[in-house]
Amino acid sequence: MLDEKSAQLVTFYGHPPLPRYVGAMTWALFHHWFETIPAMRMGAILFFSGTVAILYQMVSKHEGMWAGLFASLGLACMPRILGQAFVLSSDIALLFCWLAASFVYLETRNHKWGGAVTGVSWGFLLITKFTAFLWIIPLFVYEIICERKIRFRFWITLILVSLLVAIMLNPTWWRHPWEGLWTHHIRLSLGRFNYLPITTYYLGHVGLPGWHYVLVMMAFTTPVAILFFFIVGLFTAMRRNSGGNFRMFCLVQFLTLLIVFSIPISPKYDGTRLFIVIFIWIAAMAGIGLRHAMEKWPGRKIGIIAFILLGICAIRAFQVHPFEFSYYNVLAGGARGAQKLGLESTYFWEAANPTFCDGLNKYLPAGSKVQVYPPYPDHFSFLQFAGYIRRDIEFTRDPARYLLLMTRQGQFTPMVWKIFTENLPVVKSVFEGVSLMQLYDVSDFKS
């Protein structure tokens, strides 16, 4: 049972329950040693660590130890992926389960019980979020290209077992499985633009980004060293007889997902979050690229250079913390350059870190009322329950003397743009010279 304080931190969660299951288990194990939030977030660390470990095992088995190390550590050094290790969300659970299910498929696909075992792993993946249903698409494409036939028994077994596992593990689907799975999950997710048209600030315009959004964000948020070896690996995998089915598997995963996430119906907001699984295959092909480079040129020198560059990426990832979701690489000019290019500065509340909360506590008078924009005051109520912000402060959606503004330009109205560009904040959270979150005293505004 949760204690009273911990119970207040648990709110409605619109996605399937796997992240909550894991968070509850890690809370039960660690809440005697850690506070409630860190105890629950241990689940994210487990998902992240498991993802890195499985990627190493998968790549090293087919491409060698050095390729496996470069791929797995490269994934861990991507700030936008590393940031997920600090947030127990559906995205880090999706990342782990997607890779785990792919690993199980590769290991068991030729066994007579491979369809059932793979189905169990996909079933766990299905109780993370809707994106999990896309996992089967690159798998089907790969089978057609490499097997050149459709194994009906394998696919029927896989689908039936996965749906059975998913329904068994999601109590909200027990009473009306079809309605819960199709009506309230699949159809609702496919039609999200009808009830949740989230706009994005992209290349200086606010709206729904074009097909190239995924490519641009991928290029601007992957550390350049990893991006270089990924490109080498991409061209290596595209060559005929380049090293077997594993390279083709990674290539098909990447290209299929790139197409799926780029089509108009696919939502494009929240930075790279909605296509996070594509970075698994960027890292895997970076490992393939390193192996090819070490075979083509002096291996030891290339290896030393590659891991020195990876070390620089690790240092950079450390420097970026806790603003991982606002990271842009040197091709974009960092956070400041990305802002000039017209890219969204942030989408998450990570800028409301303890330093910023301390600033609020020191500046705001007792009983202050603060309007939050974008209008999600519940996050700050959450921080109050957790003890980071004084409880006498009231956070609201309604106009108030104080305005707390997150620099998510895709949500800015003309009035908010005017406030952002013409007024100075009294408290702010800054990353690389870009203010990600700011508190304004409305009474000081220019008339």
Residues 315-353: pLDDT tens digits?
Answer: 999 999 999 999 999 999 999 999 999 999 999 888 999
- C-alpha–C-alpha distance, residues 206 and 75, integer Å: 30
pLDDT of residue 188: 60
pLDDT value of position 32: 86
Co-location of 312 and 383 in the same domain:
no
- Is 110 among the domain residues? yes
In a domain, 332, yes or no: no
Q: What is the Cα–Cα distance from 253 to 145, expressed in whole angstroms?
A: 12
Same structural domain, 313 and 228: yes
Rounded distance between C-alpha atoms, residue 237 and residue 248, angstroms: 6
Query: 370-403 pLDDT, tens per residue?
Result: 999 999 899 898 889 888 999 999 999 999 999 9
Residue 178 has pLDDT above 80, yes or no: no
Give 14's pLDDT tier (boundaries 50, 70, 90): low
State yes or no: pLDDT of 192 exceeds 70: no
Q: Which amino acid is at 11?
A: T
Nearest C-alpha neighbor of 99 from the set 277, 273, 260, 236:
277
How far the first Cα of the chain sits from its last, in Å, is 53
Residue 327 and residue 346: Cα distance in Å, rounded?
A: 9
Asked whether residue 319 falls in the same domain as residue 395, the answer is no
- Cα–chain center distance at 275: 7
Residues 6+ apart with CB under 8 A from 206: 199, 200, 409, 410, 412
H/E stretch holding 83: none
- Please indicate, yes or no, whether residues 313 and 363 belong to a single structural domain of this protein: no
CA geometry: angle 20, 21, 24, nearest 5 deg: 80
Model confidence at 210, in pLDDT bands (50, 70, 90)? very high
CA atoms 88, 90, 95, 98: torsion sign:
positive
Contact between 213 and 262 under an 8 Å Cβ cutoff? The reply is yes
pLDDT tens for residues 267-295?
899 999 999 999 999 999 999 999 999 98
Same domain membership, residue 247 and residue 160: yes
**Residue 113 token pair:** 């019980």
> Per-residue pLDDT tens for 237-263?
988 655 568 999 999 999 999 999 999
What does the pLDDT read at residue 95? 96
371 near 403, Cβ under 8 Å? yes
Answer with the one of 307, 326, 345 that is the final residue of a domain.
326
pLDDT at residue 246 in the model? 92
On the question of pLDDT at 180 being above 70, the answer is no
Same domain, residue pair 242 and 386 = no
Amino acid 1: pLDDT = 46
Instruction: Mark whether 118 and 262 lie in a shared domain.
Output: yes
Residues 401 and 311 grouped into a single domain: no
Q: Please tell me the total count of domains within the chain.
A: 2
**Full-model pTM:** 0.91
Higher pLDDT, 16 or 251: 251
Boundaries of domain holding 78: 13-326
Residue 146: DSSP 8-state: I
Q: Is there a contact between 209 and 216 (Cβ–Cβ < 8 Å)?
A: no
Hey, what are 355's tokens?
Answer: 């330093």
Angle (deg, nearest 10), helices 90-108 and 114-126: 180
* 246 and 362 assigned to the same domain: no
φ, ψ of residue 437 in degrees (nearest 5) = -150, 140
In sequence order, which residues have a C-beta less than 8 Å from that of residue 12 and are 6 or more positions away?
none
Whether the per-residue pLDDT at 422 is higher than 50: the answer is yes
Q: Is residue 242 part of a domain?
A: yes
| pLDDT > 90 in the chain, percent | 70
**Residue at 342 is within a domain:** no
> Does residue 411 share a domain with residue 365?
yes
Handedness of CA 386, 406, 335, 260 (dihedral sign): positive
Quick check: is 336 in a domain?
no
pLDDT tens-digit profile of 39-88? 888 999 999 999 999 999 999 999 999 999 999 999 999 999 999 999 88
Whether residue 5 is contained in a domain is answered as no
Average pLDDT, the chain: 89
List, for residues 23-36, the tens digit of each pLDDT value: 889 989 998 888 87
Q: Is-contact 306 61, C-beta < 8 A?
A: no
Query: At residue 159, does pLDDT exceed 50?
Result: yes
Same-domain check for residues 319 and 379? no
For position 8, what pLDDT does the model report?
47
User: Which tokens in the block code for residue 289?
Assistant: 């690229």
Stretch among 63-77, 83-97, 193-207, 419-433 having the lowest mean pLDDT: 193-207
Can you spell out the DSSP letters for 252-298?
A: HHHHHHHHHHHSTTS---TTTGGGTTHHHHHHHHHHHHHHHHHHHS-
- What pLDDT score does 72 carry? 97
Which residues pair with residue 235 across a beta bridge?
Answer: none
Residues 308 and 358 in one domain: no
When comparing pLDDT for 440 and 3, which is higher?
440
Identify whether 4 is part of a domain: no
**pLDDT for the residue 34:** 86
